[in-house]
Amino acid sequence: MRVWKFGDNIDTDAIIPGRFLTIYDEKELAKHAFEGTRDDFAALVKDGDVIVACRNFGCGSSREHAPLALKGAGVRVILAKSFARIFFRNAINVGLLPLVSPDTDLMKDGSPIVVREREGKIVVGGREYSVEPVPEFMYHIVEAAGLVGYAKELKEAPVCTKSRR
């Protein structure tokens, strides 16, 4: 499992260009992940590889094709200094784990990486870093393989007008 290192403001057009948006199958989308931006990714990415980026990962459009393409490529965890809001939600909703770490500058492309998210730890190239804790409900969604699994169990939405919690 290795690090795929990216910089600031990696946008959804870079993750999956607009011309592939008629595709919805994650494996098919994965073939075009980062096409034109980083062509070796789709060819070489392996199950369990981790994307490590800097600020504002996933900015731009609301296309869920972006996290789906990465999931289809076998990515399970994305580590960044910060995420764009819609991408962050979409990632969780499709069952990817977006983790926030201030130290991604120190992590190098190609380094071996182990993620122990429950302990809030990652090990990159032998060095240990801590990541910001993930809210518990996020795990529920990720573990239900996304929002779909969670929603299946629900009879009606627990809206704020009804519950006081």
Partner 1 sequence: MGATITEKIFSSKCRREIRAGSVVMVPVDGAMIHDITGPLAIQKFYEMGGKQVFDRKRIIMLFDHQVPADSIEAAMNHVYMRKFAAEQDIHNYDVCEGVCHQIVMEKGHAAPGEIIVGADSHTCMYGAAGAFGTGIGSTDMGFVLKFGALYFRVPESIRAQVSGTFRHRVGAKDLILSIAADIGADGATYKAIEFAGPTIEALDMPGRMTCCNMAIEMGAKTGIIAPDDVTWEYMTKRRAGTRPFPLASDPDATYAEQRSYDVNRLEPQVATPHNVDQGVPVGTVAGTHIDQVFIGSCTNGRFEDFAEAAEVLGTRKFSANVRVIIIPSSREEYLKTLRAGLIERFVAAGALVGAPSCGPCMGGAFGLLAPGEVSLSTSNRNFRGRQGSTEAEVYLCSPATAAASAISGEITDPREV
Site residues for partner 1 per CB under 8 A: 9, 11, 13-14, 17-19, 21-24, 36-37, 55-56, 59-65, 67, 82-86, 89-90, 93-94, 146-148, 151-152, 154, 156-161, 163-164
First to last CA, the chain: 41
Give least dist CB 97 to partner 1, A: 15
Distance CA 131, CA 145 (A): 22
Whichever of 34 and 124 has its CB closer to partner 1, that residue is: 34
Q: Tell me if residue 144 falls in helix, strand or coil.
A: coil
- List all residues 6 or more positions away from 143 whose beta carbon is below 8 Å from its beta carbon: none
Give least dist CB 88 to partner 1, A: 9
Give least dist CB 117 to partner 1, A: 21
> Is 99 within 8 Å of 116 (Cβ atoms)?
no
Whichever of 63 and 76 has its CB closer to partner 1, that residue is: 63
Whichever of 126 and 158 has its CB closer to partner 1, that residue is: 158
> Is 39 within 8 Å of 76 (Cβ atoms)?
no
Task: Copy the structure tokens of residue 139.
Answer: 């795990």
Give least dist CB 51 to partner 1, A: 17
> Is 145 within 8 Å of 95 (Cβ atoms)?
yes
Whichever of 22 and 118 has its CB closer to partner 1, that residue is: 22
